[in-house]
């Protein structure tokens, strides 16, 4: 087994030996000092200069490999996706379909007010000028449209909460 691990290791035998030496020195120093030893203490314990120890540590860290399972998590920048998760996309599609169905039940005037307000992004005063009514009447039409759509959208909101 040791032969297999050595054969497949990216480290040479000397690096493996140094790694074992440093690990045992670290364990001994932790017992003696009662704390994690500092780099200069570890370097002295294995008869290295601080510079040699730092270079060896960089070499070891550069050759370290994690499995993809160890590295992956849903917040990792390596695996981040700009796309929304499939569940969100499906929910949005269902919401669009539900909204379209609810909008189709509205009278033409109410549908027009909602389109001017939400799609064309006109304010209440601009819509009032287009329809030749008062801004208060535009608010009443918009409110009436919402009241008619609310029962139709309630089922979608309940489904989203249950998921």
DSSP letter for 106, please. Answer: S
pLDDT at position 22 over 80: yes
Structure tokens at 123: 């304010």
| pLDDT for res 152 | 82
pLDDT at position 35 over 70: yes
DSSP letter for 41, please. Answer: H
CATH number of the domain encompassing residue 33: 1.20.140.160
Q: In 3-state terms, the chain is what percent helix, strand and coil (to 5)?
A: 75, 0, 25
| pLDDT for res 29 | 87
| pLDDT for res 62 | 66
- Domain of 118 in residue numbering reads as 86-162
pLDDT at position 160 over 80: no
Identify the top-confidence range among 69-73, 102-106, 136-140. Answer: 136-140
DSSP letter for 85, please. Answer: P
Q: How many CA atoms lie within 13 A of 116 on its CB side?
A: 20
Question: Would 81 be classed as within a structural domain?
Answer: no
Question: Would 42 be classed as within a structural domain?
Answer: yes
Model's pTM, two decimal places? 0.44
Q: What percent of the chain has pLDDT over 70?
A: 72
Domain count, the chain: 2
Question: Would 80 be classed as within a structural domain?
Answer: no
pLDDT at position 147 over 60: yes
């Amino acid at each position: 087994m040791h032969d297999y691990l050595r054969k497949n290791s990216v480290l040479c035998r000397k690096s493996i030996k140094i790694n074992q030496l440093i690990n045992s020195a670290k364990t001994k120093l932790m017992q003696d000092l009662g704390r994690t030893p500092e780099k200069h203490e570890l370097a002295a314990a294995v008869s290295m200069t601080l510079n040699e120890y730092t270079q060896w540590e960089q070499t070891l860290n550069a050759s370290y490999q994690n499995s993809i399972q160890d590295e992956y998590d849903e917040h990792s920048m390596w695996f981040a996706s700009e796309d929304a998760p499939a569940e969100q996309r499906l929910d949005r599609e269902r919401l669009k379909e539900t909204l379209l169905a609810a909008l189709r039940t509205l009278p033409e005037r109410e549908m027009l007010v909602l389109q001017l307000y939400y799609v064309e992004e006109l304010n209440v005063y601009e819509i009032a000028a287009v329809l030749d009514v008062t801004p208060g009447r535009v608010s009443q039409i918009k409110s009436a449209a919402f009241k008619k759509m609310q029962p139709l959208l309630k089922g979608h909101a309940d489904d989203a909460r249950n998921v």
